[in-house]
Structure 1
Amino acid sequence: MRGAERLGWRYLQVAEDTLIDLPGLEFKGKQWQPARSALNRAVKEGITFRLVHLADEPRAVLQQVRAISEEWVGDKGLPEMGFTLGGVDEALDRHVRAGLAVDADGRVHGVTSWIPVYAGNGEIEGWTLDVMRRRSDGFKHVVEFLIASACQAFRDEGARYLSLSGAPLARAGTDGDTRILDALLDKLGAALEPYYGFRSLHAFKAKFRPRYAPMYLIYRDEADLPRIGVAIARAYLPDAGLRDIPKLVRS
């Protein structure tokens, strides 16, 4: 943030990225019990992990993935976010990898998608979690299973890290004189929490013992705050209409 300070700009931590370092990763010790349990239970229930390009999957698999995603969106009662989270259409991109949890009958229990992170030399050094969906009546620990399995698969491919994505509106602290915008973000986060679970998701990711990297919003001065507030709301809910507003402001 020193560069911003030199220019006289202000900054505010708006999220924390959650990073899992992969070289040498082994799910050993008490702290990794949730991941080990998910992997072991999946074996007992006949659930296997497949790392694929979703666009290459049979139509029957794609139909299941779309149904799982539509159920997830429908349960929220608000439009799906397009700024911080992608959907099935984005997961079909050829550069994106998808993790599938599938049982012996071909039933998909959950899906994750992973976006490549490129190093300065243009090579892939890591992967960022995007889509994360589970079947409501499927394998209970499927999300833990999918993430743990992805860690193993990408580790074996030589990736340096996985990002479980930044937890928006969930942060450990702030820097600078940002009281007004900080209060705005806290209010927005509290309003959206029942629908999108930013903070509960942040707690869930802690199961994977990540290291945290702050993510900042940089702005010129307080005169920009009203426009920033509108932009943030539109970024998280780009398709929200007038009918959605009462759901955000009701107590």
Structure 2
Amino acid sequence: MPPPARPAPPVRPLALATALVAVLIAVPALSGSPHWLGGASRLVTGSPLAPAHAIALGLALALVARGVLLLRRAAWYGLVVLVALGLLAVVTGEDPLWRLPILGAVLGGLWLERDRFPVRPHPERVRTAVKTGALLVVAAIVGSLLFGGVSVRSVGAVAAGLGSTGAPLDGASWLSGALGVAGAAGLLVLVTTLLAPDPAPPPGDEPERRRVAGLVAHPGSDTLAPFALRRDKAYVFSADGRAAIGYRVLFGVAVAGGDPVGDPASRTDAVRAFLAMCRTTGWRPAVLGASEELLPAWGPCRTIGFGDEVIVRPGEFALSGRRMRNVRQAVKRTENAGVTSRIVPERELTPALREQLLDVASRSLDGAAERGFSMNLDELLTGYHPGAIVAIAYDEDKEPIAFQRYVTAGQGVSLDAMRRSPGGPNGVNERLIVEMIEYAAEHGHGAVSLNFAAFRGLLDNDERGLLEKAGYQALHLLDPWIAVESLYLFNKKFRPSYKPRNVVFRSWSDIAPLAAALLTLEFGRTRPALPAAEPLTEPVHHLGR
């Protein structure tokens, strides 16, 4: 057996060295800096730089240092170009000769480390940078013609449109400063563009979505699997094509919704494919709703448990007993009010009934947009998604007053939407859930996944410390807007089991963009997709390749 591969050395030393050079270049250009910093700066630059050049170059190098940490190939290119310019300055006699072996060694070391930077600039980013660069070159030419004094040492800065140290033309004293500011801003825009992660990919196409529909129906897919079929998600597949991850990219964070769908034996490979894709695109990987059993597949990533999926087992559910008294009473109230119900496949809805139910949905949300990501599907009542089932409640005049949509997965059915007319009788939602549990038992579904219980550990704990009490009070006060506590109490009536779900992310340094991405995905408005040419085919219970 060959010996295990040695881990690659970290890039932090190179990033730290780049940041130190940035400080040594920029700080001496500021007024009031210690005199000895000027000498240290000349050790790096070889000869003094104009203040505008030094500050712009220092800021650009600070961005490059961050790009080194993020393994951006553009950062490597930038360091190579700067060292090459330094060598050229030595060859032309502008810098001391003793810098030649140092710069040569640095350039050789960078060349040996080139494979450590797999995140290459996306073609779209390169095109934007080329356009920006063309404008900067024009500015550089104008600055050179107007002010002169261009040398090899200032090629990088002048090419960025920073101007030069020559005297301004009569009547145009403002132009040198304007070119300097514009050039510095342009240089920073250029560097930032090249170091940016890839733009978000387009959603998966219909052939991909049909493949995923087959994987969702695999017996090993869990109860969050149907939500991978949202039409705003892109996909990455395991090498054998037997598992897939649906994800969206927002603010440079690639957020996977739940565990991979498909064959459990291929899920770990799908995770590896997702992480490898994130490494080459520069995206920060994250998961919203990962199960406990799959956490080891994500390796050294950080995890935060943020709540539990509420699951009822039809084989263990019964309305009898004192603990189910509230649910029995709710169901009885609807029967006394003359409420009737039925459960139908979504694709069998007539156009007239569909319009009535959409009106119920609109009045239930008071005109607000549909929201959600990890446990919400799109295309409400269109019949687009395979395996969608609708439980409908009618009043005594046979008018629909509430409905719930469920979607099927390998392990059961999952609640997607729960809508009730504001004037409908209390207990209708409990009635439809009970009937769906009975339906699931009759059709061999082993689980019914209901709403998500966020922060259940906090809400279900009677012995709270000081921080826990403060957190509980915050949830209680915010409940009219976020409905965390009321939804937890509603779910609790069914005596369910709970499946912990986690947020998985790469590093605590990602927490700000991660929070922005997750909050936007869960609470931002869902953009309607373009109408599909035809519905997805009904799921099959075997894997297609």
More helix by share: 2
Q: 1:4 to 1:224 in 2, by over 3 A?
A: farther
The reply to whether residue 81 of structure 1 matches residue 81 of structure 2 is no
- 1:92-241 aligned within 5 A: 92=383, 93-118=385-410, 125-167=411-453, 169-172=454-457, 193-239=479-525
User: SS at 1:239's partner residue?
Assistant: coil
| Partner Cα distance (2:416, 2:478) in 1 | 19
Match of 2:246 in 1: none
User: SS at 1:67's partner residue?
Assistant: helix
| Partner Cα distance (2:299, 2:377) in 1 | 34
| Partner Cα distance (2:435, 2:501) in 1 | 27
Q: Given residue 207 of structure 1, which amino acid in structure 2 is its aligned partner?
A: K
| Partner Cα distance (1:71, 1:108) in 2 | 12
Q: 1:90 to 1:47 in 2, by over 3 A?
A: closer
Q: Bigger CA drift: 88-97 or 142-151?
A: 88-97
Q: CA deviation at 1:43?
A: 2.5
User: SS at 2:376's partner residue?
Assistant: coil
Gaps of 5+ in 2: 1-291, 459-470, 527-545
| Partner Cα distance (1:166, 1:140) in 2 | 21
Deviations 1:76-95 (A, max 9, x none): xx543131434562663341
Q: Bigger radius of gyration, 1 or 2?
A: 2
Q: 1:110 to 1:216 in 2, by over 3 A?
A: same
| Partner Cα distance (2:382, 2:323) in 1 | 31
More strand by share: 1
Q: CA deviation at 1:58?
A: 2.5
User: SS at 1:23's partner residue?
Assistant: helix
Match of 1:56 in 2: 348
Match of 1:28 in 2: 320
Q: 1:204 to 1:231 in 2, by over 3 A?
A: same
Q: Given residue 376 of structure 2, which amino acid in structure 1 is its aligned partner?
A: L
Q: Given residue 371 of structure 2, which amino acid in structure 1 is its aligned partner?
A: M
Structure 2 residue aligned with 1:8, among 282, 287, 300?
A: 300
CA contact (8 A) 1:82 1:238 kept: yes
Q: 1:44 to 1:82 in 2, by over 3 A?
A: same
Q: Bigger CA drift: 40-49 or 145-154?
A: 40-49
Q: CA deviation at 1:190?
A: 7.7
Q: 1:91 to 1:211 in 2, by over 3 A?
A: farther
**Which is bigger in relative contact order (C-alpha 8 A, separation at least 6)?**
1
Q: CA deviation at 1:53?
A: 1.6
Instruction: Name the TM-score, length of structure 1 as normaliser.
Output: 0.77
| Partner Cα distance (1:107, 1:10) in 2 | 50
Deviations 1:16-40 (A, max 9, x none): 1111111142211011112222332
| Partner Cα distance (2:318, 2:311) in 1 | 15
CA contact (8 A) 2:312 2:494 kept: yes
CA contact (8 A) 1:12 1:218 kept: yes
Q: CA deviation at 1:50?
A: 0.7
User: SS at 1:68's partner residue?
Assistant: helix
User: SS at 1:151's partner residue?
Assistant: helix
Q: Given residue 40 of structure 1, which amino acid in structure 2 is its aligned partner?
A: K
User: SS at 1:89's partner residue?
Assistant: coil
| Partner Cα distance (1:207, 1:56) in 2 | 32
User: SS at 1:13's partner residue?
Assistant: strand
| Partner Cα distance (2:344, 2:386) in 1 | 10
CA contact (8 A) 2:314 2:437 kept: yes
Gaps of 5+ in 1: 119-124, 174-184, 241-251
CA contact (8 A) 1:110 1:134 kept: yes
CA contact (8 A) 1:20 1:211 kept: yes
The reply to whether residue 40 of structure 1 matches residue 312 of structure 2 is no
| Partner Cα distance (1:149, 1:231) in 2 | 36
Q: CA deviation at 1:239?
A: 2.5
- RMSD of equivalent CA atoms: 3.0
Match of 1:70 in 2: 362
User: SS at 1:74's partner residue?
Assistant: coil
Q: How many residues end up aligned between the 2 structures?
A: 221
